[in-house]
Amino acid sequence: MNAVALVRKPSMERAFREALSDKATKAAVREALDWDESQVSRFLSGGLGLPLEKIDAAIGALDLVVTSRRYMDFLAYGSQIGAACHCARAGLGECGVGGDR
């Protein structure tokens, strides 16, 4: 039987909701944002926003990293070629998907 893997698009909203609903992560997020329980509740209900000066702390507490599409495209392209591509290192073009060799 073939299993179908579902891939969900990353969502900051989902990341916050999951982290602030999970006892294992809620305290770390609250501490990073200097929030009490009422602020968590107001945030999750849409009654409290996230100030700009707390965005970096929030991203760190969620254990996320912000990167650019350009960098992710570069990583994807590099993965196609392969870090140990003997063809490219020898000046013979790219190995891998769509490559010369």
Which residues neighbour 82 within 8 Å (Cβ) at sequence distance 6 or greater? 95, 96
66: left (phi over 0), alpha (psi -120 to 50) or beta: beta
pLDDT at 67 over 80: yes
Whose CA is closest to 76, among 91, 96, 60, 47? 96
Q: CA neighbours within 13 Å on the CB side: how many for 13?
A: 5
Beta-carbon contacts of residue 46 (< 8 Å; ≥ 6 apart) = none
Q: What per-residue confidence (pLDDT) applies to 79?
A: 75
- What's the CA gap between 34 and 30, in Å, rounded? 6
At 25, list the tokens. Answer: 């992560």
Reported as a single tens digit per residue, the pLDDT across 2-58 is 667 788 888 999 999 999 999 999 999 999 999 999 999 999 999 999 999 999 999
Q: Which residue has the higher pLDDT, 45 or 77?
A: 45
**Per mean pLDDT, which range of 37-41, 63-67, 73-77 is the poorest?**
73-77
pLDDT class of 101 with cuts at 50, 70, 90: very low
The pLDDT of residue 98: 55
